[in-house]
Structure 1
């Protein structure tokens, strides 16, 4: 799978000695016939993100992507799965100095059924007010770009999510 980008948090760049923990994840980019993207809107951060998350031990990235997509959005009949690439992040892990999380996200484009079933989000997703929405991809990008202008406002994933939304608009729109 091709390399898309690497993001290094400024706090990590400033560290000379650190221990790295790898976290593998998968992300789904789903566009419908109207060029709307299936995203998660999060009330807590007022932003849009792509369905996806951490892989379980030994889990295949495609299997994990389908699982996360179903859990977070209720999407089903996942098909036409195409690899897009790998997005890497190096960010501080927790509050302990010298701990760095290296997140490797396997990104896939796919199609799903037009209707969504009831999602089964995790507790933190419920607490953050995450819910699935179909929206114009350019609207999602513009919204996240505004959020990027206020660093105190956004979550740690906003840079990645906005990059992947831009990539989808550039490479996947019909």
Structure 2
């Protein structure tokens, strides 16, 4: 997962799809860039999360976002990350953390922090879904 100091939350790696990429290629690139994941394979679709958010650019008040979620296998050892400038400034770093601990932390941040980001509700929902659907068996 990713821990972001600015928002004091745990999130799943992710981001936009570059021109010419399909979703799986975007997943592999983003996962490698943000976490240093190596040997990404056995990629399987898990689901899609749709949300509407306030938008900060002219001509639009809201934006529709679709987050496509996948499972995959990676090597246990992570390589070097290639974070974007804003990710570095936000204090983002890849971490291994138990999903139950990440959910508990995020719920505490939602309840008690005024610095939470806009993604924490989505991320906590997805982490709970992962816990319930992938880890319960």
User: TM-score of the superposition, structure 1-length normalised?
Assistant: 0.74
Q: Find the counterpart in structure 2 of residue 25 from structure 1.
A: none
Give the Cα separation in 2 of the matches to 1:131 and 1:95. Answer: 28
Residues 74-108 of structure 1: CA distance to partner in whole angstroms, max 9, x if unpaired?
A: 00111111111110110011065852111111100
What are structure 2's unaligned runs of at least 5 residues?
A: none
Query: Which of the numbers 35, 43, 52 marks the counterpart of 2:14?
Result: 52
User: TM-score of the superposition, structure 2-length normalised?
Assistant: 0.93
Q: Find the counterpart in structure 1 of residue 124 from structure 2.
A: 162
Q: Please state which structure has a larger fraction of its residues in helix.
A: 2
Residues 121-142 of structure 1: CA distance to partner in whole angstroms, max 9, x if unpaired?
A: 0000000000000011100000
The residue correspondences of 1:53-68 to structure 2 (distance < 5 A) are: 53-68=15-30
Q: Find the counterpart in structure 1 of residue 44 from structure 2.
A: 82
- The change in CA–CA distance for 1:148 and 1:96 in structure 2 (over 3 A counts) is farther
Q: Find the counterpart in structure 2 of residue 115 from structure 1.
A: 77
Give the Cα separation in 1 of the matches to 2:129 and 2:61. Answer: 30
Give the Cα separation in 1 of the matches to 2:112 and 2:59. Answer: 25
Give the Cα separation in 2 of the matches to 1:41 and 1:105. Answer: 19
- What secondary structure is seen at the aligned counterpart in 2 of 1:149? helix
TM-superposed deviation, 1:152: 2.6
The residue correspondences of 1:5-84 to structure 2 (distance < 5 A) are: 39-84=1-46
Q: How many residues align?
A: 136
Q: Please state which structure has a larger fraction of its residues in strand.
A: 1
Q: Which runs of 4+ in 1 moved over 4 A?
A: 95-98
